[in-house]
Amino acid sequence: MIQINTPKARCIMVLGTTSGAGKSWLTTALCRHYARQGLKVAPFKAQNMSNNARVVASENGQGEIGSAQYFQALAAKTVPDVRMNPLLLKPEAETHSQVVLLGQVSADLTALPWRERSSQVWPQIAAALDALCAENDVLVIEGAGSPAEINLHSSDIVNMRIALHCNAACLLVTDIDRGGAFAHLYGTWALLPENERGLIKGFVLNKFRGDAALLAPAPQMLQDLTGIPTVAVLPMWWRHGLPEEDGIFDAHCTITGELVLTVAVIAYPRISNLDEFQLLKNIPGVRLLWARSPAQLADLNINDWVILPGSKNTIGDLIWLRQQGLDAAVVRHAGQGGAVLGICAGLQMLGEALIDPHSVEGNVPGLGLLPLVTMFEKNKIVRHTQATFHDCIAAPALECDSDWVHGEVDVAAPWAALAGVKVSGYEIHQGSTRQHPAMAEAGDLARAVLPGDLAWQNGLGNVMGLYLHGLFEDPSALQALFGGNLKEPVPTLDSVFDGLADYIERHFEPDFLTTFVAGTT
């Protein structure tokens, strides 16, 4: 076991020369590595910009943080909380983001210009950082973008200001597959003030393809210029299993083994929580397809799935869906008996109408695949949820006639395997959905398959909408839906985290990870 002889956490930080260099997954791997050494570990990222968010503990009950920090906390074997990502920016348009501070939406901060915001939020960020330092042996901190964005340096609250505040030992990682890696490393180092350069303890070359011996003499030349060693060359690894933080980087179709099922996820411009589909990429026989045009749905067969995921701008993405002609393609697939699943905003789109009495997004007709109407509300619902898919065959008759039921309630094919399965997930939505009253009077009833207005199916059962995010991360749901077709256990997030730790332990310089956290590098 590593001994840490400091009065507070040893802070280590992963910086990147660019976005997409590999900061998030390396931070996650380090969290699991040090947790396996018996240390109390927590992740931290001062500010994250992402529409991939999770519901975690906060002083106010429950709040939102970026999904990357949620996964990093799980990798660290600790309970996620809002201090691990005190500031979350959720883009709603090209030049506008919703601001979430310590888990809660802040209208005042959302209205502030970008450069004025940092002075307002720094006290809360520093307090969260100090509190986590006091409670842990190791704090693994992730930077954002590049620390050498000199136009933003004066208002920095996420990179070197954080590193200086907690005297973090920093790694600087670059994506060598893009080319120019040594220039990126040297240029980033050269643009930093001297006191900040001293915090960088190692360079990491990520996504390398080929013979690492061919890199010589560049790493030594770079060390001669900067005094900083290259401590790891990480080979390209397409299928590490961790969700991408910033977008759909792996947009091409992927599959291992014989094709059993294609899952086509509609990739609208403001897609959110796309990370919840990552584990589908790890299941043999499943092809995950990110669809942006009707042509990509044309070859689906009746057994394949179409998923309408979450969105940070439901109305805007529904309009985009129609502009692309994807609305007709989805309706056609459903009309042929194909499986269609809507999650959160996707559920709202599947209904008959979306009503906006507060002029938040506007009134529009839905796709008409479920006899539901959604009413947008001012306040956002953010909460953890556990619920059991209804199973009339196993349930007492009285329960099948309870107040929340509309029509039949047993889960029908192609989702019948979920009947009686208890699942855990989270809700993040602005609006509530109910049976369309006029359609109900006409006999067109949605079939509630989860309590509390969480999920419905159409009469045939092939179309289902649910507010619950995280279905494909729940081990019970994964096993129910896919376990019968697999020769091996369904991969879990925990196995992904262990695989990440194993990977860096193989490819970092011997003993570096030990000396790095012990402060002897």
- Residue 237 predicted with pLDDT over 70: yes
Q: Please report, as a single letter, which amino acid is at residue 253.
A: C
- Residue 407 predicted with pLDDT over 80: no
Indicate if the alpha-carbon torsion angle 26, 29, 34, 40 is positive or negative.
positive
- For the residues of 14-48, what is the DSSP string, one character each? EEESSTTSSHHHHHHHHHHHHHTTT--EEEE-SEE
Q: Residue 95: what pLDDT?
A: 66
Tell me what percent of the residues of the chain surpass a pLDDT of 90. Answer: 60
* Assigned domain for 367 exists: yes
The lowest-confidence range among 138-142, 204-208, 242-246 is 242-246
* Assigned domain for 151 exists: yes
Tell me what percent of the residues of the chain surpass a pLDDT of 70. Answer: 90
* Assigned domain for 256 exists: no
Q: Is residue 145 a contact partner of residue 184, using CB atoms and an 8 Å limit?
A: no
Q: Residue 397: what pLDDT?
A: 35
Answer yes or no: 469 catalytic: yes
Q: Band of the pLDDT at 471, cuts 50, 70, 90?
A: very high
Residue 466, domain CATH: 3.40.50.880
- Residue 68 predicted with pLDDT over 50: yes
CA 385 → CA 198, 280, 470, 482, 504, distances in Å? 46, 21, 10, 22, 35
**Domain that includes residue 172, residue range:** 10-240+496-513
Closest CA to 490 of 498, 500, 482: 482
Are 230 and 280 in a shared domain? Answer: no
Name the catalytic one among 11, 133, 166, 344: 344
Q: Residue 253: what pLDDT?
A: 56
pLDDT tens, residue by residue, 178-195: 899 999 999 999 999 999
The lowest-confidence range among 106-115, 206-215, 262-271, 466-475 is 106-115
Output the average pLDDT for the chain.
88
Q: Please report, as a single letter, which amino acid is at residue 166.
A: C
The predicted model gives 445-460 an average pLDDT of 89
Are 165 and 43 in a shared domain? Answer: yes
Residue 159, domain CATH: 3.40.50.300
As for how many domains the chain has, the answer is 2
Are 465 and 506 in a shared domain? Answer: no
CA–CA distance, 475 with 470 (Å, rounded to integer) = 10
Are 486 and 506 in a shared domain? Answer: no
CA–CA distance, 376 with 435 (Å, rounded to integer) = 15
- For the residues of 159-212, what is the DSSP string, one character each? SHHHHHHHT-EEEEEEEGGGS-HHHHHHHHHHHS-HHHHTTEEEEEEEEE-S-G
pLDDT tens, residue by residue, 93-125: 666 788 999 989 888 888 888 778 888 999 999
* Assigned domain for 518 exists: no
Q: Band of the pLDDT at 266, cuts 50, 70, 90?
A: very high
- Residue 492 predicted with pLDDT over 50: yes
Structure tokens of 11?
A: 């802070």
Q: Residue 2: what pLDDT?
A: 53
pLDDT tens, residue by residue, 374-406: 998 878 888 889 999 987 543 333 333 333 334
Are 410 and 316 in a shared domain? Answer: yes
pLDDT tens, residue by residue, 23-65: 999 999 999 999 999 999 999 999 999 888 899 888 778 899 9
Phi, psi of 206 (to 5 degrees): -110, 155
DSSP state of 484: G
* Assigned domain for 521 exists: no
Closest CA to 455 of 394, 370, 516: 370
Q: Residue 244: what pLDDT?
A: 64
Long-range contacts of 193-197 (CB under 8 A, 24+ apart): 195/164, 196/147, 196/160, 196/163, 196/164, 197/226
Are 440 and 505 in a shared domain? Answer: no
Q: Residue 12: what pLDDT?
A: 98
Phi, psi of 185 (to 5 degrees): -65, -50
Regarding predicted confidence, which is higher, 378 or 12? 12
Strands 138-142, 169-175: pairing is: unpaired
The predicted model gives 430-452 an average pLDDT of 85
Are 308 and 335 in a shared domain? Answer: yes
Cα torsion at 427, 431, 436, 438 (round to 10°)?
170
* Assigned domain for 250 exists: no
* Assigned domain for 321 exists: yes
The predicted model gives 256-285 an average pLDDT of 87
Are 27 and 168 in a shared domain? Answer: yes
Are 177 and 103 in a shared domain? Answer: yes
The predicted model gives 401-423 an average pLDDT of 68
* Assigned domain for 137 exists: yes
Judged by DSSP in three states, 503 sits in helix
- Residue 327 predicted with pLDDT over 80: yes
Are 147 and 294 in a shared domain? Answer: no
Name the catalytic one among 33, 390, 429, 469: 469
Query: Which H or E element spans position 422?
Result: strand 422-429
Are 236 and 316 in a shared domain? Answer: no
Sequence-distant (≥ 6) Cβ neighbours of residue 281 within 8 angstroms: 239, 241, 250, 254, 288
pLDDT tens, residue by residue, 345-385: 999 999 999 998 876 666 899 999 999 999 988 788 888 89
- For the residues of 290-355, what is the DSSP string, one character each? EE-SGGGGTT--TTSEEEE-EESSHHHHHHHHHHHTHHHHHHHHHHTT-EEEEETHHHHHHSSEEE
The lowest-confidence range among 9-18, 51-60, 201-210 is 51-60
Are 211 and 266 in a shared domain? Answer: no
